[in-house]
Structure 1
Amino acid sequence: MRNTVYLRRNRKLIVHPGHSRLPRTYIATAMKNIEYLGFTFSKELMEVLQTLSIETFTELYHQLVMDLKSLIGANVNFKPMYPNFPKQVMLASEAELYVNAILHYVTFQLPEHVALERFPLLDQVDLKVIDLGSLADFDQNMRNLIGAKGSISELDRVDIELVILMYDDLSTVLPDEIPMKENVGFVVGALLKYEKANIKHIAKYMTTATDVLRLVVALSDGDVSLATNTKFRKFKRPERRLLLELLEQCGNRIEDMLRYKNRWIRLGEILHPAEYKNKYEGCKEAFDILRNNKPFATFGGRVEHVLRMQDTSLAADLLKNRAGEFARRLDQLLRINEDFTPVVEKFAEVAEQISTPVLLQVMAHFGHRHERHDLRTFFPKGNVGNAVAIPNILPDIEAAACETIVQTCKSTLITRFAELPSLGDVYVDARLKQYVMPFSQRSASKALRTIVRGSRLEMPEGDTIRFFLWWKEGTVGGKHTGRVDIDLSAVMYDEHWQYVEHISYTNLRSNKYKAAHSGDITSAPFGACEFIDLDIPSVVKYGGRYVVASLNSFTEQPYCDLPECFAGWMMRKHPNSGEVFEPSTVMDRIDIAADTRIAIPVILDLVEREVIWCDLALQKHPHFYNNVEGNQKGMVLMGKAMTSLIKPNLYDLFMLHAAARGRIVEDADRAQTVFSVSEGITPFDISRIMAEFIA
């Protein structure tokens, strides 16, 4: 189980050297077989595998193949409506395509086609290397994940919970501090769940009333981000005492509880603090104020009062006591008063008290503040990957103020990073400008590669992008899904986001350029799949630039209620060679499991040959037909938002570290520390970046 997690997260395996000599044919056969899946072994891993017995190696190999197939989607049977796709669709008459579709809609039976023998795969594939790992490295990765400076995904939480369950001694994976408060609630909840903690172990993590609330939510299987309400479970008396003890030790208790007043009132009805005589007096006072609406002056109320008077200098004086809040309100303060000097100077006085993630975001915001974009894009807190785009109507701010703030953030961060260990000679790949810093991964989906929303990935060589979708209907939580029809679509737009054409079940092929859909399958009792091929040069030649890949739940089930649903894309140089689904050509695969009915996994920029990672979910659009045509407005808005997104990037982060604790070199071969897309520390090392570099 540990290697399953390690392989998925780091593409490494823990293999303990044996005392045997494995025949070379076993290694060679295994490597040839996983080559079909797009993977190979590193030299170091091969050397250790050769010391294993045949029995040990065979057991490891079978588990490895299962894990690799699951990662890329090769663990299911892909049977498209047209088995000789794409050629079969491109050559069929309109009448044949129409009749086949109608017969399928009426009978749910697929048309009978003979699958012709396909020419072997002609594409040369760059194999992904599986390296030799170690228990210490695995533990450090989990420690980094728990100590991350940003929110983590649901899959991250599953991995952490598994480690907490497996380990008797958690000292190697539990950090002294858990800076991200959402992670505190989840981790402490898991420790209590598996009876691996007491108040002495967990009290150091719980410093605010909201920390205790997140713990209660975690113990109730709710959303620790607190973006949605949770139905609290009933707690046993020892649990109630523990929660009240944790709450009693928290400072600034009442003001913190007022932020989530109604939830605390509901929780108070479960905890019953008044039952305990001469104990938890602070808790009793807090609940009394909340329940009876007694007056209580809060810091936020004082700040709002001063801002209504438009006294930015006094507001800045107040906010100096809470530096993080000062940073978040900085733009608002600068919009109120033209004389920015007092505010900027007071911000500089407290900058060293502000957390690294906030400083990085402030630096990026004011670094691009003067640029005029049509939209401002936000990713709301919660477990669904949603984006909100609003018109950018922010008034201008003095360029001098923006520049001063950027320099304040930069100098503060360099001073902070200089206290970390030396990096020596450092190479920073300029392509990292295209990758967004990982601050919030709470709604990230499980994927072959973990990527931050808004990042732009270079397309490998090849002219054909092949999207794929696989889903299955069945029983979930004791209830059958009924018939499930998921539709794969690709919508093309020009450089100004004007509609060009779409490929979907309503339009199986283009008469303008090379693009085809494998056929609309409307039920999936044994699993079903759909594919779309797009020939990049022909789309660009016709005037297309952006392609939005989308999935629509035609039968209205949310993806979270399906047994399985995933999508991805392949790069094919010779689309009519090899099988329709060739595992070795899979570039990315992503689980579709959000509580929504429309998903946008990626957007393609065919002119720049980039894949923009979206992992977004849209709510049902109010149109009668749930198809791609009925969701044009939402898709264009999301497309414009994601392609104009301004977020802190990894290049700037790593350059700050290089300036603070290293010497920048121009050649990766001469560097002791490499930050790059494909070697050294990469954008996919998210837990390490969040723990060690956003520090």
Structure 2
Amino acid sequence: MVHALEHLVVRHNRRLPSPTGPSGDGAAAARRFDAALMTAGFKLSGELLERLSGFAEPTVVETAVRTLATVRELVGDHVRHNVYFVDFPANVPDTLDFWMTCVAEAFREGDARADAVDRLSAGVLDLLTLPSYGRYRHTYEEMLAAHDELIAAAGDRLTVLHPGRDADHEVTALYLALAGSTTPLGEEHLRDLSVLAGHCADGPQPETITVRENRAVVNLARLRTGAAPLLDTVTDVLRLACALAEGDVTLREPTRFRALPRPYRRALLAGLDAVVAAAPAKLADVSAHREAWKRLGERLHPHEYPHWPDAAEVFAVARGERTVPSLDSRVEELLGRGDVTGAAELLAAAAPGRLFRAVDRLLRGAAEGEERDAVLAAVERAAPEVSGRVVLSVSEHLRNRADGRRERRVFVNREGGAWVADDTRPPLTDSVRERLVEVLDAETRRRLPDPGHLLIDPDVLDVALPLSGRAASAGLGVLPRGSVSPVGGELLRFFTYWREATRTTDLDLSALVLDEDFATITWLSYTALTDVEGRHSGDITEAPDGASEFIDLRLGAVRGTYIVPQVHVYSGEGFDEVAEGFFGFMLREGEQGGRPFEPRTVRMKSDLRGPGRVALPLAFRRDEEGRWHAHWLHLYLRGTPSANRVEEHRVSIAVLLRGLFGRASLTVRHLVALMEESGARTTLWDGRTAPDVPVTYIGLERPDGLAPGSRVVTPENLRDLLPA
């Protein structure tokens, strides 16, 4: 069972658990393993290579097979990436010439000819009906034969795998890290936590589980092993019921509850009764999920358990038989009477986190003088009780509320759906904003542990703090929304892959080129296969066995300031419905050659899982000195039900980007500066020899040679940098 979980350790931590097996001379097998990894852009660290060499060859081979499967999937090399034009990026035709060729070929074929004549006589000819359009016309092997071998380059990605402890220890450590995370986990990480919780239910547990979704997943594992679930709100019980029904523990989507075994019903009702008996005021939380509680009551049958009367009160509130004012309604009542001070005091006492989230509104509604000072005083008193993630989120918000700002607001929900609206809020005065920022910075500084000697990779300083795990997709080389990272190389190549589940599905990869004012210069898509900037690999319109599309750009030829890759759902299943879907980009030097997809040139690969019909994973911006940078978005636009095309979304994307690029995210640089103010010694990592003393290393990749006892923070565990 532990071996089945090793892939999670490799994927999350880039560590390979120490295998179990007899010792022997496995040096040759270890070197072959290392060479195979390098074809996928990975490599064994020197210490790991030495450790594996001490095992018998069969043990090394078995470990290699498991690990290679994991890293190939991580980089997107577990599927076959074919292209429509066999020798892409060479010999891609002009769009109209290509379409005319498809029409001409249709007229040379019997049944297709008759159909094409009928359609042309009506004045319309659909490209999708042409037999040579949108379907591969050569095998994967024929495509490989049309391309030379990739020439190795110094800039190729090389992700190093480091040695871990035994599998039991590594799996347990990963479970504790995910379960005890202070930020909500993304969808994939939450699934991984569910698997790990089932395995680790009888082992060590986190001291605290602050994220409620995490707690629901852990509670499910505890319940199945006979342990008492951890419950301190009525909503904890509802989330656990959703987990039992294999529903949505985030409560964003309705769960279809089903009949439960009597022991589970008793556990839920007993937990509910204990929570309400200890704090009857918590009944106020029921109204937020009234319909879910009514549906759950039909499955739990609380009337069969009269010895738990407080549990029955929950369902009475849900049915409207008993009225309990919610905290929100009490706050709204106070604000309706103009009592801003009372609302702030109530929130500070009952829900400090909600006070922080409402502070902008309260300050805008407060009169200058005593009322505004009362709100600020409430915030200062409540600060120690608020989670570090919320403190940092409000700090970021305030830094983007400079006096006199009148910009459009960008809203992003928890699924990555994005939209724009006019910002009609009056500004906060500089004195108020600066006072709050000082309070929040002081609170953050107080909570940050002493890092000792900080060793910093300069490229990590502009990585946004992961204030929510949902601000990034799962994958390789993925950074949180709002991050900025440098981009090198001469060729930039985007790729997308999808495999439909039940319906014919056509996803389209496109790239929009904008000038410094976000006006359109050009685009590359199935309607514009070639331009000065680059080439499109051709349109694939169905993917029962999987399909890929590519865009190749020469960065030196790009005429604009922004490059915006995007994936459109033209028809069929959405991003949340396809069996598999991902996006990524590669960087190459001019004459490297190679196949359209070369795993060791992949810099980023992320899953496509989100609402809407248009995906915007990231954008690229050229600065005044001509250097390119990736700006991470992880956004989804609603789009239209079908036939989404880059031409139709140019304006909405430009408006969205203008709003996004006007905001500043809180980055690693911010926390490093606060640690330096507290006396931490900082050294910028130059990629050479590491110090011979333990350090706290923060960077994009873990380097070799760190002294024992060093703490390592990379994008995979960047959430650990946030204060609790």
Same fold (TM over 0.5): yes
- Aligned partner of 1:619 in structure 2 is 638
Answer yes or no: is the 8 Å Cα contact 1:118–1:576 preserved in 2: no
SS at match of 1:233: coil
In structure 1, C-alpha distance between the alignment counterparts of 2:26 and 2:289, rounded to whole Å: 64
**Aligned counterpart, 1:218:** 243
> Is the aligned partner of 1:380 residue 2:410?
no
Matched, 1:465 2:492: yes
Contact 1:468 1:529 in 2 (8 A): yes
Select between 219-228 and 591-600 the one with higher mean Cα deviation.
591-600
Of 151, 160, 176, the match for 1:121: 151
Report deviation, 1:168: 6.6
In the alignment, what sits opposite 2:118?
none
| Structure 1: distance between partners of 2:201 and 2:211 | 24
1:538 paired residue among 557, 568, 576: 557
Instruction: Measure, in 1, the Cα distance between the counterparts of 2:684 and 2:611.
Output: 46
Match among 579, 594, 612 for residue 610 of structure 2: 594
Letter of the 2:335 counterpart: L
- Of residues 79, 82, 107, the one that matches 1:79 is 82
Task: Give the CA deviation at 1:594.
Answer: 3.2
Cα-to-partner distance string for 1:358-378 (whole Å, 9 max, x where unaligned): 111222222332162623233
1:47-126 paired onto structure 2 within 5 Å? 47-89=50-92, 95-96=97-98, 98-100=100-102, 105=128, 106-107=130-131, 109-111=135-137, 116-118=146-148, 120-124=150-154, 125-126=156-157
Distance 1:276-1:661 versus aligned 2 partners, 3 A rule: farther
Q: Which residue of 1 aligns with 2:320?
A: 292
Contact 2:483 2:665 in 1 (8 A): no
| Alpha-carbon displacement from aligned partner over 1:19-66 (angstroms, at most 9, x marks no partner) | 544254333332222211111111110111111111111111122222
1:433 Cα deviation after fit: 4.2
Note closer, same or farther for the CA distance 1:111–1:428 as it changes in structure 2 (3 Å cut): closer
**For the residues of structure 2 that align with 1:484 and 1:575, how far apart are their CA atoms?**
35
Indicate the SS of the match to 2:92. helix
Alignment of 1:260-659 (within 5 A): 260-277=289-306, 279-322=307-350, 323-336=352-365, 337-339=367-369, 340-370=372-402, 372=405, 374-381=407-414, 384-417=415-448, 420=449, 422-429=450-457, 431-442=459-470, 444-459=472-487, 461-473=488-500, 476=501, 480-481=502-503, 483-510=504-531, 513-539=532-558, 542=559, 544-574=560-590, 577-607=593-623, 608-621=627-640, 625-659=643-677
Work out whether residues 468 and 567 of structure 1, in 8 Å CA contact, stay in contact via their aligned partners in 2.
Answer: yes
Pairwise CA RMSD of aligned residues? 2.7
- Cα deviation, 1:294-319, whole Å, max 9, x if unaligned, reads 44334332322221232322322222
Pairing 1:163–2:166 present: no
CA shift at 1:386, angstroms? 1.6
**SS state of the match for residue 581, structure 1?**
coil
Conserved? CA contact 1:253–1:286, under 8 Å: no
Instruction: Pick closer, same or farther for the CA change 1:650–1:633 going to 2, 3 Å.
Output: same
Shift of 1:243: 0.8
Give per-residue Cα distances to partners, 1:84-108, cap 9 Å, x unaligned. 1112116x69524641488584115
Of 328-337 and 132-141, deviating more is 132-141
**Aligned equivalents of 1:694, 1:281: Cα separation in 2:** 40
Deviation per residue, 1:642-672 (Å, 9 max, x gap): 4334332222124334544734456675582
Of 665, 675, 685, which residue of structure 1 is paired with 2:698? 675
| Number of aligned residue pairs | 666
- Give the partner amino acid of 2:256: K
Structure 2: distance between partners of 1:679 and 1:693: 19
Residue 144 (structure 1) aligns with:
177
Distance in 2 of aligned mates of 1:55 and 1:268: 55
Task: Determine the C-alpha separation between the residues in 1 that align with 2:498 and 2:608.
Answer: 9
Is 2:285 the partner of 1:256?
yes
* Corresponding position of 1:154: 187
Deviation track 1:525-570 (CA, whole Å, cap 9, x = no partner) reads: 332221101111211xx2x111221112222311333222222110
Report the residue type matching 2:148 in the other structure.
R
Separation (CA, whole Å) in 1 of partners of 2:364 and 2:200: 52
Residue 489 of structure 1, CA deviation: 0.6
In 2, the alpha carbon distance for the partners of 1:97 and 1:575 equals 30
What is the aligned partner in structure 1 of residue 162 from structure 2?
Answer: 131
Residue 245 (structure 1) shift: 1.0
TM-score (norm 1): 0.89
Letter in 2 for 1:75: H
Amino acid at match of 2:513: M
Q: Is the 8 A contact 1:489 1:628 kept in 2?
A: yes
Q: Percent identity?
A: 27
Residues 186 and 473, structure 2, Cα contact 8 Å, conserved in 1: yes
Rounded to whole Å, the distance in 2 between the matches of 1:243 and 1:325 is 27
Indicate conservation of the 8 Å contact 1:450/1:684, yes or no. Answer: no
Aligned pairs for 1:168-187 within 5 A: 169-171=202-204, 174-187=205-218
Q: Which residue of 1 aligns with 2:268?
A: 243
- What's the offset of the Cα at 1:335? 0.7
CA distance in structure 2 between the partners assigned to 1:249 and 1:684 by the alignment: 41
Q: Secondary structure at the match of 1:568?
A: strand
Distance in 2 between residues matched to 1:667 and 1:620, nearest whole Å: 44
Q: Distance in 2 between matches of 1:358 and 1:119?
A: 50
